[in-house]
Amino acid sequence: MERKVDEVYQELLQMLKVVIERDFQPYNLEEHLKTVLYDLAYEAVKQNWTGTKLIFVGVLWAVGLARHYAKKYNKDFGYYLDRILKKGSIENYVLAFRRIK
């Protein structure tokens, strides 16, 4: 199972490479995101999900939400990205969609 988790995790890192470099690295949030992605990859393998695109969309949703709040409240984008990661919003987004299905 660990090998499959690593495969899914590497696929996610490859899909999100540009997003990680552009949005997470400048704020030193890359490692926190990678932890979240690994946990979601584990869930994907454990529950036998057929794809990882929902996790990809969840990360893009989080980046968009952070950008929206940064613009709306005139604060730093990294501040909101950090809050989203700490609150577990990406995991909640992905798992909520999985429950609906």
DSSP state of 48: T
Confidence (pTM):
0.93
Q: What is the pLDDT of residues 28-78, one digit of tens each?
A: 999 999 999 999 999 999 999 887 899 999 999 999 999 999 999 999 999
**Whether 41 contacts 94, CB under 8 Å:** no
For residues 85 and 2, the model is more confident at 85
Which position has the token pair 């999100």?
Answer: 16
Contact between 7 and 58 under an 8 Å Cβ cutoff? The reply is no
- The length of the chain in residues reads 101
Q: What is the rounded CA–CA span in Å between residue 65 and residue 89?
A: 10
